[in-house]
């Protein structure tokens, strides 16, 4: 930190944090990371598993053709015109919250992926390829968890990984 109370360089600050185990744990606790492991790609949908801190939270399904590319995203709660409440919207790299519209991908409840557009992801308990049950229940639980993280000013990260069913741990 220079004499004016500002950091000389973010790179120096980051290196100092990462070298000190106590600071490292504080630094990494300011965001929540959600990982979706895509396990199966079929004509009925893309089946996945949503994991937070190494623990399975629920299953996911996506449209068999209109899904987001694997990669890193952020999630923000945003009011969308046709929804009665704020939705967990998936922000593409470099996308600002004010650029979110009705055509933005989001996490949502549902039963099957065929009506999904824009890369949306349905949460629930998988019963068959492209089909989940108890979707609203799993969606509400995850949203509550995300809202708590958001209130604590945690950045919510989403990582989507394309894994085959042979590569993912049987625990998921």
Q: What is the pLDDT of residues 101-152, one digit of tens each?
A: 878 899 999 988 998 989 999 999 999 999 999 999 999 999 999 999 989 9
Given a cut of 90, is residue 8 above it in pLDDT?
no
Given a cut of 50, is residue 155 above it in pLDDT?
yes
Given a cut of 50, is residue 38 above it in pLDDT?
yes
Phi and psi torsions of 148, nearest 5°: -60, -45
Encoded tokens for 12: 């120096």
Encoded tokens for 86: 């704020």
pLDDT class of 40 with cuts at 50, 70, 90: very high
Of 9-13, 38-42, 130-134, give the lowest mean pLDDT range.
9-13
pTM of the model: 0.77
The pLDDT of residue 167 is 54
DSSP 106: B
Encoded tokens for 171: 């625990």
Given a cut of 60, is residue 52 above it in pLDDT?
yes
Of 7-11, 53-57, 104-108, 166-170, give the lowest mean pLDDT range.
7-11
Given a cut of 50, is residue 171 above it in pLDDT?
yes
Look at the alpha carbons of 72, 95, 108, 62 in this order and tell me if their dihedral is positive or negative: negative
Task: Specify the 3-state DSSP secondary structure of 86.
Answer: strand
């Amino acid at each position: 930190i220079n004499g004016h109370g500002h950091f000389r360089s973010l790179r120096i600050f980051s290196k100092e944090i990462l070298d000190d185990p106590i600071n490292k744990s504080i630094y990494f606790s300011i965001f929540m990371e959600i990982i979706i492991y895509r396990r199966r790609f079929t004509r009925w949908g893309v089946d996945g598993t949503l994991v937070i801190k190494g623990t399975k939270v629920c299953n996911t399904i996506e449209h068999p053709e209109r899904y987001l590319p694997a990669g890193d995203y952020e999630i923000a709660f945003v009011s969308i015109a046709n929804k009665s409440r704020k939705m967990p919207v998936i922000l593409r790299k470099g996308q600002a919250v004010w650029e979110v519209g009705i055509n933005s991908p989001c996490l949502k409840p549902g039963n099957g992926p065929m009506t999904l557009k824009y890369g949306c992801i349905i949460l629930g308990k998988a019963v068959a390829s492209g089909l989940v049950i108890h979707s609203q229940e799993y969606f509400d639980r995850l949203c509550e968890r995300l809202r708590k993280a958001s209130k604590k000013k945690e950045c919510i990260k989403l990582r989507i990984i394309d894994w085959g069913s042979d590569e993912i741990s049987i625990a998921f």
